């Protein structure tokens, strides 16, 4: 049996060095919580029970978990990792068994990553995508005493959306075929230890960081072998994809690309040359954004061995619900693709293969699993990534004459949804605008957490209002308006998390209905709450009669409040809302310059006067600030300053701005 592989059996290494392709992917620090993330290619060996890498130098014990560190190893960062995509290799197993890989904090035997020694001999590889434990570790267990090697193909970010690597599914297409000499492969069989440069085709844009591909090998000798792909121009340190001899094998992997969209490939074996086909199923974007963020989750959605399911006859096509079942979010909630591990279980005299594709898409040219003719039961496994159909269903075809059993395990899904914070607001003094975008389901709930680690909670309804009103939403989730967009809400962040400078994350979780139990959450948006927008670390710019905090949009005005004698005090007006607050909050001015403004108009005795209303007479060159007791102060613009007139406009002192700033030290701006 063989599966999606990403690591080959070769001399132990402590992890490949960083390559130019890996360095091109931007990463941010974050949490190890299993949330949606974006893919970063990073080829790193994390476990080899032959050499002691990972902490073990003996074969696996039977049915016992071993944990090992993943984050901080090789090219994998110490934080900011939600999941890894890896190849697991069982080295020449003597007997059949299963191999499971799980996060260290949540062991699971729902879906094995590899089923080995079942109908084939030699080393067996299988691919998996698995969430990383909160301690940065994974754990592995096998059903027999075997040697295990695990190589990471890449990791998925956590804690922020600032990264490249969103997955874009394509209709599967054959881009290279040695039987006819296309895509950089020869017109003839591949020779051992020869490097071939494979082009990924016109549908993969230049600059994509990696592609998800299926390699189909056609072996003609009893000796197995392996393929090693790596980005063209980088060191030849890619992981190896192991396959047995004398059978056809489908092996999938995420392969890093050169900026030109190519990768190099080497075949190694002691056996005969092979034919090879390469199919591209999708690519990982090099652009920063939220599209295609991955959420790891293990769900068994089909097992034809379990009643009322039945075997799939030879030549038959069956339709299987995938999205919206067994905890997989429904189509329309924002998922764009689903990672599915397929196992084909076969006993019969005829070889065949199994295809799997979205129900609304054309039948692909590639198979997910190739199974051999055998007099004993064989189990072949491979991972694929499917675009979702509008009804959430997939089609499965048994391209053989014998009946087979099929098991489908979902390893997670990619979401094509937009964040909770409209316009990418990253810093606020108080309010944040919650407005989910067009991508995603028709219902949304906004959730938050302080920092980047831990569970999310719903934003309290009592702290959320319709802009310009005191009206709160009735309940979460809220639905789109008649125009098909989500209304904006104003969230009073300090009311929820307290008046302290701190980092807060907020996410939009989309549903297909108000009661949908399996929402799809966008990548979290990170907002820095800064109670003061004029801290030392904040960049400011002089604008008009004051300064603006560039990160928050807060600004201050300070002018000289003077009379005939001397400067008595300073006029300062500070806005407590950011410029990103809804426009409606700044309309209908009352008080000093409208809602959200406070003023400190202290007189010589230090008595505050912040409850003034403004009478705008600037057309005539002045304005009046009226106190609650009827007292008034008049201000007139003259030259570059705004002067206070205690006795009247006619008593305004005429001055030279530049001279008086320098000579008298007035606080004019």
Range with lowest mean pLDDT among 10-24, 163-177, 592-606: 10-24
Q: How large is the average pLDDT for residues 99-115?
A: 86
| Residue 142 confidence (pLDDT) | 95
Q: Are 122 and 226 in contact (CB under 8 A)?
A: no
Q: How large is the average pLDDT for residues 104-130?
A: 81
Is pLDDT at 140 greater than 90 in this prediction?
yes
Range with lowest mean pLDDT among 118-132, 238-252, 364-378, 584-598: 584-598
Is pLDDT at 430 greater than 50 in this prediction?
yes
| Residue 619 confidence (pLDDT) | 56
Q: CA nearest 522: which of 459, 454, 438, 580?
A: 438
- H helix runs in 261-330, sequence order: none
| Residue 52 confidence (pLDDT) | 96
Q: CA nearest 576: which of 609, 611, 532?
A: 532
Q: What residue has token string 């205690």?
A: 646
Is pLDDT at 67 greater than 50 in this prediction?
yes
Buried b (16+ CB within 10 A) or exposed e, 173-187: bbbbbbeeebbbbee
For residue range 471-509, list pLDDT tens digits in order.
999 999 999 999 999 999 999 998 999 878 889 999 999
Q: Give the CB-side neighbour count of residue 604, counting CA atoms within 13 A.
A: 7
Asked whether the CA dihedral 229, 231, 236, 239 is positive or negative, the reply is negative
Buried b (16+ CB within 10 A) or exposed e, 119-147: bbebbbbbbbbbbbbbebbbbbbbbbebb
More confident residue, 524 or 305: 305
Cα-trace Rg, the chain: 32
> DSSP characters for 193-221?
T-EEEEE--TTSPTT--EEEEEEEEE--S
Is pLDDT at 518 greater than 70 in this prediction?
yes
Q: How large is the average pLDDT for residues 364-371?
A: 92
CA distances from 575 to 427, 537, 559, 560, 581 (A): 15, 19, 15, 19, 11
Q: CA nearest 146: which of 108, 109, 95?
A: 95
Nearest-angstrom CA–CA distance, 625 and 601: 10
| Residue 382 confidence (pLDDT) | 92
Structural tokens at position 143 = 């059903």
| Residue 616 confidence (pLDDT) | 58
Is pLDDT at 32 greater than 60 in this prediction?
no
User: What is the side-by-side strand order in the sheet with 352-358?
Assistant: 317-321, 393-399, 352-358, 369-371
More confident residue, 208 or 564: 208
Nearest-angstrom CA–CA distance, 20 and 75: 12
Is pLDDT at 350 greater than 80 in this prediction?
yes
Nearest-angstrom CA–CA distance, 280 and 303: 27
HEC letters along 313-350: CCCCEEEEECCCCCCCCCCCCCEEEEEEEEEEEEEECC
Range with lowest mean pLDDT among 29-33, 283-287, 597-601: 29-33
Omega prior to 477 cis, within 30 of 0: yes
Is pLDDT at 352 greater than 90 in this prediction?
yes
Fold classification of 422-529 (topology level): Immunoglobulin-like (2.60.40)
Is pLDDT at 413 greater than 70 in this prediction?
yes
Q: Are 221 and 245 in contact (CB under 8 A)?
A: yes
Query: What is the CA angle 81-82-87, rounded to 5?
Result: 85
Asked whether the CA dihedral 202, 275, 11, 92 is positive or negative, the reply is positive
Q: CA nearest 184: which of 285, 86, 271, 258?
A: 258
For residue range 437-457, list pLDDT tens digits in order.
888 899 999 999 998 878 899
Q: Are 354 and 346 in contact (CB under 8 A)?
A: no
Buried b (16+ CB within 10 A) or exposed e, 279-290: bbbbbbbbeebb
Is pLDDT at 422 greater than 90 in this prediction?
no
Strands (DSSP E) found in 349-430: 352-358, 369-371, 374-387, 393-399, 405-415, 427-428
Nearest-angstrom CA–CA distance, 68 and 133: 10
Q: What residue has token string 């990073």?
A: 42
| Residue 583 confidence (pLDDT) | 41
- Mean predicted lDDT score pLDDT of the chain: 78
| Residue 557 confidence (pLDDT) | 56
Rounding to the nearest 10 degrees, give the CA dihedral for residues 651, 652, 654, 660. 130
pLDDT category, 11, cuts 50, 70, 90?
very low
Buried b (16+ CB within 10 A) or exposed e, 393-412: bbbbbbbbebbbbbbbbbbb
User: How many other CB atoms sit within 10 Å of the CB of residue 494?
Assistant: 17
Nearest-angstrom CA–CA distance, 312 and 356: 13
Is pLDDT at 647 greater than 50 in this prediction?
no
Please tell me whether residue 437 adopts helix, strand or coil conformation.
coil
Task: Please state the length of the chain.
Answer: 669
Is pLDDT at 26 greater than 70 in this prediction?
no
Q: How large is the average pLDDT for residues 212-226?
A: 89
For residue range 182-200, list pLDDT tens digits in order.
999 999 999 999 999 999 9
Is pLDDT at 176 greater than 80 in this prediction?
yes
More confident residue, 31 or 626: 626
Range with lowest mean pLDDT among 3-7, 331-335, 341-345, 556-560: 3-7
Of the chain, the percentage scoring pLDDT greater than 70 comes to 71
For residue range 400-411, list pLDDT tens digits in order.
999 999 999 999
Asked whether the CA dihedral 488, 492, 496, 497 is positive or negative, the reply is positive
For residue range 533-579, list pLDDT tens digits in order.
555 545 566 766 666 665 555 666 554 433 333 333 334 444 433 34
What residues does each domain of the chain span? 23-415, 422-529, 540-664
């Amino acid at each position: 049996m063989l599966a999606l592989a990403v690591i080959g059996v070769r001399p132990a290494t402590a992890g490949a060095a960083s390559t130019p392709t890996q360095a091109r992917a931007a990463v941010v620090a974050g949490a190890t919580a299993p949330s949606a993330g974006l893919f970063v290619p990073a080829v790193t060996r994390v476990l080899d029970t032959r050499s002691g890498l990972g902490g073990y130098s003996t074969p696996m014990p039977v049915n016992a978990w071993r944990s090992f560190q993943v984050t901080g190893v090789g090219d994998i960062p110490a934080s900011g990792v939600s999941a890894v995509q890896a190849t697991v290799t069982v080295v020449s197993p003597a007997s059949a068994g299963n191999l499971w890989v799980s996060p260290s904090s949540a062991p699971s035997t729902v879906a094995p990553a590899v089923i080995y020694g079942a109908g084939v001999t030699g080393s067996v590889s299988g691919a998996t995508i698995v969430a990383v434990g909160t301690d940065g570790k994974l754990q592995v267990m096998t059903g027999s005493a075997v040697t295990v090697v695990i190589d990471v193909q890449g990791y998925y970010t956590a804690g922020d959306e600032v990264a490249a690597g969103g997955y874009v599914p394509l209709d599967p297409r054959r881009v290279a075929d040695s039987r006819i000499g296309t895509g950089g492969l020869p017109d003839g069989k591949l020779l051992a230890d020869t490097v071939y440069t494979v082009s990924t085709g016109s549908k993969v844009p230049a600059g994509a960081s990696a592609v998800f591909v299926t390699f189909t090998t056609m072996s003609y000798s009893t000796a197995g072998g392996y393929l090693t792909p790596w980005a063209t121009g980088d060191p030849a340190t890619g992981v190896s994809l192991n396959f047995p001899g004398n059978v056809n094998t489908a092996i999938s992997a995420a392969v890093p690309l050169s900026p030109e969209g190519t990768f190099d490939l080497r075949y190694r074996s002691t056996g005969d040359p092979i034919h090879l086909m390469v199919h591209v199923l999708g690519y990982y974007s090099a652009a920063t954004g939220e599209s295609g963020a991955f959420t790891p989750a293990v769900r068994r959605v089909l097992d034809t061995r379990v009643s009322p399911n039945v075997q799939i006859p030879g030549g038959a096509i069956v339709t299987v619900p995938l999205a919206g079942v067994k905890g997989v979010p429904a189509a329309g909630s924002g998922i764009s693709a689903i990672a599915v591990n397929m196992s084909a279980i076969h006993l019969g005299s005829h070889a065949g293969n199994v295809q799997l594709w979205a129900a609304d898409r054309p039948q692909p040219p590639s198979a997910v699993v190739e199974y051999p003719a055998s007099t004993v039961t064989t189990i072949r496994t491979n991972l694929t990534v499917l675009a979702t159909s509008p009804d959430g269903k997939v089609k499965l075809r048994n391209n053989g004459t014998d009946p087979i059993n099929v098991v489908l395990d979902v390893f997670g899904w990619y979401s094509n949804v937009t964040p909770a914070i409209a316009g990418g607001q990253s810093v606020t003094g108080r309010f944040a605008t919650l407005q989910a975008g067009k991508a995603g389901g028709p219902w949304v709930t906004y959730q938050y957490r302080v920092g980047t680690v831990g569970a999310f909670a719903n934003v309290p309804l009592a702290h959320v209002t319709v802009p310009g009103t005191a009206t709160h939403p009735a309940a979460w989730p809220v639905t789109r308006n008649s125009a098909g967009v989500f209304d904006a809400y104003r969230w009073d962040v300090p009311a929820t998390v307290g008046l302290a400078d701190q980092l807060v994350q907020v996410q939009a979780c989309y549903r297909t209905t108000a009661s949908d139990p399996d929402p799809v959450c966008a990548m979290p948006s990170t907002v820095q709450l800064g109670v003061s927008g004029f801290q030392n670390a904040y960049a400011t710019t002089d604008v008009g009669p004051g300064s603006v905090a560039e990160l928050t949009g807060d600004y201050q005005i300070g002018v000289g409040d003077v009379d005939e004698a001397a400067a008595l005090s300073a006029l300062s007006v500070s806005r407590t809302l950011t410029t990103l607050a809804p426009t409606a909050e700044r309309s209908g001015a009352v008080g000093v310059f409208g809602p959200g403004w406070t003023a400190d108009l202290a007189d010589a005795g230090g008595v505050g006067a912040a409850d003034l209303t403004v009478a705008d007479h600037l057309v005539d060159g002045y304005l009046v600030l009226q106190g609650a007791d009827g007292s008034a102060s008049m201000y007139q613009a003259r030259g570059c300053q705004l002067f206070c007139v205690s006795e009247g406009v006619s008593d305004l002192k005429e001055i030279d701005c530049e001279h008086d700033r320098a000579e008298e030290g007035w606080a004019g701006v």
